[in-house]
């Protein structure tokens, strides 16, 4: 090999987190090497967030055409050109791709190596015919779809998020294994684009969410014609005819079979650690990914791991958050600790489901009785004008009104959760939120009204009422 590269930082993986670390280091004039064996931009750009939201947007337009009568506009069944939808998805990817390209990062001053990386010892990585001996390493290799051990699965064609967006013909009947966010987002999108859709979930659909809030989403999906089977085990998969698939299931009613034309496996994600040579670098890992401290440091003090590979919160914005923490530590020697309590998440169904902080069950377990505050979309004037009255906000408040967690099920929940993520990050109270003034008419008023509900409870307390009666004596 030629003389080794000796940058300050070597980043392995050019997804959201890795790109953020590399760009920040280069911006401050720090020598940085970025290694990526696959497509620049990682899963989010090429197979995940971007294409999935593009197809969801197309499906949302189709559904709006079907439901204009409430506004005095005739309902129209849209003509869907699935190949054109596919072109829209890939046009969006192509529009964003230059921001993550080799050319752009090279221009920023990043030394980009397109090859597979592996550690050969605690301080050396080899990528192709290049050896890198960096002061610090950041592993940001992301994750891949988890493929469950289902008899017959390896003998039938199936889709994952890495292949779903290659379809140019609409599935006649899409069968989805997995009732988590990805499975349900794609189920609803394809149903709205004209496919029959069946979802099979071994436990509870959207099981990581507050059941009360998840129920809002599941009701809508079922009303739109998505068949959702919960507490259902997939026993085996087999071919059905020349082009079809059969999924053999079992639930508390017994055994049954579901026939479809396409099968989507959406059963979670697995950290990409294979081939990295972690053992040789003294980096601890398990089935969930690389083990890190709350400072995102691995067992090898020279190596950090961020994003999906460091799990368990596998979201693009988490990778970006991790990148910011690592940059603080590497460039400025500032203390930086991960705080999972402030990280929001969104399921981009329609209605959306957004959450940050503790759920009601988690808050009760940690703090005992807490105040549970709700406000419905139906009481919001803007929601009424747009006929988006389905859903509500749910706030959890602890002692002195400190905000512990927020869930929103309804239109624009993914945008509305932003303020609440800031509120938790700053340890705000419901009083702080009740004191701000959103413009009228906006859906942001829903959250403020929920916060004000806390004081309605306070107003009912006998001691407070006694004080008010006494204060009336002073005019």
Q: Which residues are annotated as a binding site?
A: 53, 141-143, 178-185, 201, 268, 308
Q: What DSSP character marks residue 374?
A: E
Query: Residue 233 forms beta bridges with which residues?
Result: 250
How do strand 303-305 and strand 136-139 relate by DSSP bridges? parallel
Fill in the DSSP letter of residue 429: B
Q: Which residue in the block uniquely carries the two structure tokens 């999935």?
A: 52
Characterize the bridge pairing of strands 32-35 and 9-12: parallel
- Give the residue numbers of the binding site for FAD: 53, 141-143, 308
User: What are the residues whose beta carbons fall under 8 Å from the beta carbon of 169, sequence distance 6 or more?
Assistant: 82, 83
**Residues in Cβ contact with 114 at an 8 Å cutoff, skipping those fewer than 6 apart:** 36, 37, 102, 128
CA 18 and chain centroid, separation: 18
Binding residues for NAD(+): 178-185, 201, 268
Quickly count: other Cβ atoms within 10 Å of residue 346's Cβ: 20
Nearest in space to 347 (alpha carbons), one of 194, 162, 200, 213: 213
Contacts 24+ apart (CB under 8 A), 363-370: 363/396, 363/398, 363/404, 363/405, 367/398, 367/399, 367/404, 370/396, 370/397, 370/398, 370/404
């Amino acid at each position: 090999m030629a003389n080794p590269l000796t940058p300050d930082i070597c980043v392995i993986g050019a997804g959201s987190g890795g790109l953020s670390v590399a760009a920040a280091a280069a911006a401050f004039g720090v020598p940085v090497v970025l290694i990526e064996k696959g497509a620049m931009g990682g899963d989010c750009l090429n197979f995940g967030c971007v294409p999935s939201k593009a197809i969801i947007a197309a499906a949302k337009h189709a559904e709006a055409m079907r439901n204009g009568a409430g506004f005095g506009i005739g309902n129209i069944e849209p003509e869907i050109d699935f190949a054109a939808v596919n072109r829209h998805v890939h046009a969006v990817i192509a529009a964003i791709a230059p921001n993550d390209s080799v050319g752009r990062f090279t221009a920023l001053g990043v030394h980009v190596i397109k090859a597979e990386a592996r550690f050969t010892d605690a301080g050396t990585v080899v990528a192709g015919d290049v050896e890198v001996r960096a002061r610090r390493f950041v592993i940001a290799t992301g994750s891949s779809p988890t493929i469950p051990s289902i008899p017959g699965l390896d003998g039938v064609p199936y889709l994952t998020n890495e292949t779903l967006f290659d379809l140019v013909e609409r599935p006649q009947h899409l069968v989805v294994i997995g009732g988590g966010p990805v499975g349900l987002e794609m189920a609803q999108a394809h149903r709205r684009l004209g496919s029959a859709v069946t979802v099979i979930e071994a436990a509870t659909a959207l099981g990581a969410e507050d059941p009360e809030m998840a129920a809002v989403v599941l009701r809508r999906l079922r009303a739109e014609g998505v068949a959702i089977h919960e507490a259902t085990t997939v026993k085996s998969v087999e071919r059905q005819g020349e082009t079809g698939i059969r999924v053999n299931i079992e639930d508390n009613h017994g055994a049954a079979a579901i026939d479809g034309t396409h099968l989507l496996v959406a059963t979670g994600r697995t950290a990409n650690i294979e081939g990295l040579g972690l053992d040789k670098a003294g980096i601890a890992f398990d089935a969930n990914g690389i083990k890190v401290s709350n400072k995102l440091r691995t067992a090898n003090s020279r190596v950090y791991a961020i994003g999906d590979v460091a799990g368990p919160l596998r979201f693009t914005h988490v990778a970006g958050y991790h990148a910011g923490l690592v940059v603080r530590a590497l460039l400025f020697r500032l203390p930086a600790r991960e705080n999972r309590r402030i990280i929001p998440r969104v399921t981009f169904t329609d209605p959306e489901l957004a959450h940050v902080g503790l759920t009601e069950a988690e808050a009760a377990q940690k703090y005992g009785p807490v105040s549970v505050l709700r406000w419905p979309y139906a009481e919001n004037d803007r929601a009424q004008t747009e006929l988006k009255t389905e859903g509500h906000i749910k706030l959890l408040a602890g002692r002195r009104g400190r905000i512990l967690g927020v869930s929103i099920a309804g239109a624009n929940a993914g945008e509305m959760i932003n303020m609440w993520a800031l509120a938790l990050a700053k340890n705000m109270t419901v009083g702080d939120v009740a004191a701000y003034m959103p413009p009228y008419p906006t859906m942001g008023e829903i959250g403020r009204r929920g916060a004000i509900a806390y004081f309605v409870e306070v107003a009912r307390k006998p001691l407070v009422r006694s004080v008010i009666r006494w204060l009336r004596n002073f005019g």
